[in-house]
Amino acid sequence: MIILKDGLVVTGDGVTLYEKASVLIRDNEILGVVERLDPSIEAYADEVVDCTGKAIMPGMINQHQHGVTFGPIFASGMINYGKDRIMELLDRNFLQGCTTVLNVDGFVTMDEVNETQKHHPMRIKTATTHAPINYEAGLRCDGKGLTEKHKTMTIEKMLADGAVCIGEVGGGHTLGGGGQDYLYIPKAVKEAKGVDIDYLQARTLKLGVLGRYIEESYYDKDTVAAALKEAKLDHILTPEETRDLVYKTTLASVKVAIDGYMEAAHIAKRLDVPLLCHNAPTSKKVIHEVAKVGLNNFVACHSNYLFTKDEAVENTKILKQNSGVIIEACTHDPWGAKRLVANPENLYAFYEEDLIDVVSTDFANGSFDSMLEAVQHGVEKGLVSLPKAIAQCTKNVTEAIPLLAPNLGQLKEGYTADVLVTSYPNFSNVERIYIDGKLVAKDGKKLV
């Protein structure tokens, strides 16, 4: 038996917090949480860890991550980053306190997930998007990581073999995001005119033709003429040429990707499994259609991302009126790298307005900040209570995707002992990680 003694204990149920209590672990199970430890019990323990001045909580369950298996990545089915980088990304999740991670690169096979699991102590689970229109969207955008075994795989088979939900449907690449800016539009301009343009110019053209919501009906010749002028390309391209080029590089795959949402929604409804969809301005309209399909668990992913603050808050309030909708807020990288998301104001607004069901990190180009960092800032600013913020990373996640982490997410008698000991009040400094009752990391170092 291990006793984590006299720490501040957050059980993960969303309400319970003990200022001073001890967590008892026997084999791989939580034996109990006790406020007053009987000294005679201590005598039976194999190890007593003094947790005075520290916090004890369930392991984080990160339900939105990319690049953490040996399979193809993103909704575009790109070739993965290679084993070393994958291991780095797994370690980053793990040492941030994640004891379970959900891979949302939905074209991976179970063989690839199982192979990855052999190399890492963190629990690695997967989602699936193996459906015809979603394949088509991936292929139109990239698809270079998709081999025959990926293309012939089905959602049904993946679920039978251990996938826990459908997702992530849609993504920046297939929905006219960054890939168009730095790759596809510059390539098309080079081919058509022999001119090199940068990603900012490409983005200006894209938004000039399709607008922020990537809509065909947005086109207006004068608007595009102004965009060409702004990008200093008015002597190179006409508005009509620009329209055709942007339609071809961007709109074509976006249309297919949007159709992929409804395809996945109908499969999720038929099989009654949770569905995770990329929620961004480009997919806003279809997200609301999916929300009306009547799924029991529909996760609107990173709902705090890419929208302006007011837009995100308003959009989320409307989405929440549909039953079965689960609002996911993501950390991204506003405290560390600040490359993808410059500041956490959307996340803070979500805490403040009580819009969050579950928190995850998302990918942020591999620079994602930790879920516990979000918790820490949210609590410090008085926007959310500590028990509630922890439950958004633990118990709520187990309810959103029931097969992701059964019997996990709470410090409760009979639950599996995935437990963290962290600094207090700097929760994001994870000192000890237990999985299945075994110490697997200490002071920022993986032990197995």
The residues binding Zn ion (CB under 5 A) are 278
Write a three-state SS string for the chain: CEEEEEEEEECCCCCCEEEEEEEEEECCEEEEEECCCCHHHHHHCCEEEECCCEEEEECEEEEEECCCCCCCECCCCECCCCHHHHHHHHHHHHHCCEEEEEECCCCCCHHHHHHHHCCCCCEEEEEECCCHHHHHHHHHHCCCCCCHHHHCCCHHHHHHHCCCEEEEECCCCCCCCHHHHHHHHHHHHHHHHCCCCCHHHHHHHHHHHHCCCCCHHHCCHHHHHHHHHHCCCCCCCCHHHHHHHHHHHHHHHHHHHHHHHHHHHHHHHHHCCCEEEECCHHHHHHHHHHHCCCCCCEEEECCCCCCCHHHHHHHHHHHCCCCCEEEEEECCCCCCCCCCCCCCHHHHHHHHCCCCCEEECCCHHHCCCCHHHHHHHHHHCCCCCHHHHHHCCCHHHHHHCCCCCCCCCCCCCCCECCEEEEECCCCCCEEEEEECCEEEEECCEECC
Q: Name which of 59 and 167 has its Cβ closer to Zn ion.
A: 167
For Zn ion, the closer of residues 203 and 278 by Cβ is 278
CB of 175 to Zn ion, least distance (A): 9
Least gap, CB of 381 to Zn ion (angstroms) = 26
Kindly state the smallest distance separating residue 97's Cβ from Zn ion, in Å: 22
As measured in angstroms, the least distance from the Cβ of 419 to Zn ion is 30
The residue of the chain with the least Cβ separation from Zn ion equals 278
Supply the minimum distance, in Å, between the C-beta of residue 66 and Zn ion.
Answer: 8
Compare residues 278 and 395 and give the one whose CB is closer to Zn ion.
278
> Judged by CB, which is closer to Zn ion: 55, or 341?
341
* CB nearer to Zn ion: pick between 150 and 278: 278
Nearer to Zn ion, 92 or 278 (CB): 278
CB nearer to Zn ion: give 278 or 284.
278
Minimum Å distance from CB 301 to Zn ion? 5
In whole angstroms, how close is the CB of 67 to Zn ion at the nearest point?
13
